[in-house]
Chain A
Amino acid sequence: MNAEKDKLVIAVPRGSLFEGSLKLLADLGIATDIVREQDRRLYFPEIGVLTVRPTDVPTYIEAGAADLGITGKDVLAEHSEHHVCELADLGFGPCKMVVALKADHDYLAQALEDFGVVRIATKYPRLAAAHFHRSGRQAEIIEVKGSVELAPLAGLADAIVDLVATGTTLRENGLVEREHLFDSSARLIANPVSYRLKAKAIDGMLQQVHKWLEKKVNES
């Protein structure tokens, strides 16, 4: 948290939400050009911005290392142990959390029939476990760090739980979506202490964000 009263520090996610986040901040009047120009630099105190991996955003926010942050709903849902305030749905980075498997056969039903348990590869072990638990199917969750689509092809798992934006990667690997968990998009979050101590600055920014969102809706 910044010592200066009501000056906000914002954690911006690198990765797929990076462009959308910088565009939003630029539209709100924050000079984000230097973030684009100095690609390897992580900390920009002169404009109150730090850049981190999307999954690390809640960690920085919860600890108060930044007041506000942008990250995906998928990250917040998987890491719900982080105590943060979820302030706004920013709309960009739309995607959905799905169960996907090879298109040629219902491997989930087959595995349940043959072994009474399904093997699920995912980067979201808690969400995947909760989803299968809710539907009364026993699942062994296999955590992988990336290229989840490979798991059913190589025989590591019967299906995957993953975030899908356009579905191109699924298609190119011969996978199809079979179950839909929830829709995700970028969220604006806040540290709970900043949310109260810097209420004025945060509310001011939120107002700008809502105007920005309305303008987006009108444009489309």
Chain B
Amino acid sequence: MSSAQLHTARSGLRDVLPSEFREVHAISETLRGVFANHSYQELRTPALEEPDIVERGPAGGLAYRVVDEHGHALALRADMTVPIARLVTARYGEVEEPLRFSYIAPVYKAIHPQKAQAREVLQAGIELIGVEAPRGIVEVLTVLDEAFSALGCHKHRIGFNDAGFVANMLGTLDIDRKRKARVAAALATTDFVSLKDDLYGIEGGRMVVDLLCTRVSANQLDSLKTSLPENLLTAFQHNSLGDIVEALPQTVQERIMIDFSLTRNLGYYSGPVFEIYAPNIGTALGGGGHYDDLLGYFGHSMPAVGFALDVDLLHKIVKSGDTK
């Protein structure tokens, strides 16, 4: 008998064995079909990027780094949106016709130990470049809806907001920089207790906090608007949230749940943002939104919108049968 040490993958990483592989592959193929039907062309980018490029994305400074044979640092991509933004600005220059790309690829995330989080996540998504809101995000959400239908999943909801509205709302309040920073931190950590502590005492603050705590379905949006005071109504009309919801197909509208506190703290989302939720899954299945400024960082400011889905979570839902 040999006493060789047995090796399994490090915590947060796992082997995908044939039975699971077949199921995940089938899901990937279904998604590919839907993306292709809408003229999204699949592409691939390197898993390793320049560290300062990866740092623009959700990993920030926490990206995995490797050192090449010359001692130079490289980083593992933490999402596909940033690499695609890089390649679009480098290779397509000024975009005249809209670009449509899709991908199914692993991305790499820093984890907290002992929380059963995945370091390697298989993501499927699309990016639409060169189409402004509301048209761009309406298209992307329509593709998302079709992807879920094609998988036979009908229980998901889409949390939706315009990150610009949060800024506009807070802009109606007379608060100093220090308090503003505290409020931003409270929003980023969904700490509504601190938010109340900081804003309830301020003129108009209570109204803003109550609105930030509001989640409504799309058909409740009109009645909500009539309840807003003048300054908040003006702030609301200065962003695209209402227009986008109105322009969505009925089937997508029914899935929308507007949450005025939703901002997705990935650093690059500038306007409309969304997350996808399903019952019995404790984290979002994915999300997306507009990231116009990110392309600006790489050299050409352009409207851009997309989403990414966690394929392993989709697999979990399909397998659970909790879909109808």
- List chain A positions with a Cβ less than 8 A from chain B: 1, 3, 5, 59, 62-65, 80-81, 83-89, 187, 191-197, 199, 203
Q: Is the interface of A mostly helix, strand, loop or mixed?
A: mixed
A-B contact count (CB 8 A): 68
Check A64 against B192 for contact (C-beta < 8 Å).
no
Give the complex CA separation of A25 and B80 in angstroms: 45
Give the complex CA separation of A195 and B260 in angstroms: 12
Chain B residue contacts of A64, Cβ below 8 A: 280-283
Give the complex CA separation of A187 and B279 in angstroms: 24
Q: How far is the CB of A195 from chain B (nearest CB, A)?
A: 8
B interface residues, tally (CB under 8 Å): 24
Check B157 against A187 for contact (C-beta < 8 Å).
no
Q: Give the residue of A59, A65, A196 whose beta carbon is less than 8 angstroms from that of B259.
A: A196
Q: How far is the CB of A204 from chain B (nearest CB, A)?
A: 12
Q: Give the residue of B116, B257, B283, B284 whose beta carbon is less than 8 angstroms from that of A199.
A: B257
Give the complex CA separation of A59 and B116 in angstroms: 11
Give the complex CA separation of A80 and B190 in angstroms: 11
Check B194 against A199 for contact (C-beta < 8 Å).
no
CB-nearest residue of chain B to A188: B193
Chain A residue contacts of B148, Cβ below 8 A: none
Q: How far is the CB of B317 from chain A (nearest CB, A)?
A: 12
Check B189 against A80 for contact (C-beta < 8 Å).
yes
Q: Does B91 contact A (CB under 8 A)?
A: no
- List chain B positions with a Cβ less than 8 A from chain A: 112, 115-116, 157, 159, 189-194, 215, 257, 259, 275, 277-284, 322
Check A81 against B112 for contact (C-beta < 8 Å).
yes
Chain B residue contacts of A84, Cβ below 8 A: 190
Chain B residue contacts of A87, Cβ below 8 A: 192-193
Chain B residue contacts of A187, Cβ below 8 A: 193
Chain A residue contacts of B193, Cβ below 8 A: 86-89, 187
Check A59 against B115 for contact (C-beta < 8 Å).
yes
Chain A residue contacts of B112, Cβ below 8 A: 81
Contacts A/B (CB < 8 Å), 7 sampled: A63-B115, A63-B282, A65-B282, A192-B284, A194-B282, A195-B215, A196-B159
Chain A residue contacts of B279, Cβ below 8 A: 1, 3, 5, 197
Give the complex CA separation of A64 and B284 in angstroms: 11
Chain A residue contacts of B275, Cβ below 8 A: 196
Q: Give the residue of A3, A89, A196 whose beta carbon is less than 8 angstroms from that of B215.
A: A196
Chain B residue contacts of A197, Cβ below 8 A: 157, 257, 277, 279
Check B192 against A193 for contact (C-beta < 8 Å).
no
Give the complex CA separation of A81 and B322 in angstroms: 29
Give the complex CA separation of A63 and B115 in angstroms: 9
Other A-B contacts than A191-B282, A196-B257, 15 sampled, CB-CB below 8 A, are A62-B282, A63-B115, A64-B280, A64-B282, A64-B283, A83-B283, A86-B194, A87-B192, A88-B193, A89-B193, A193-B281, A196-B215, A196-B277, A197-B257, A197-B279
Check A3 against B280 for contact (C-beta < 8 Å).
yes
Chain B residue contacts of A85, Cβ below 8 A: 190-192
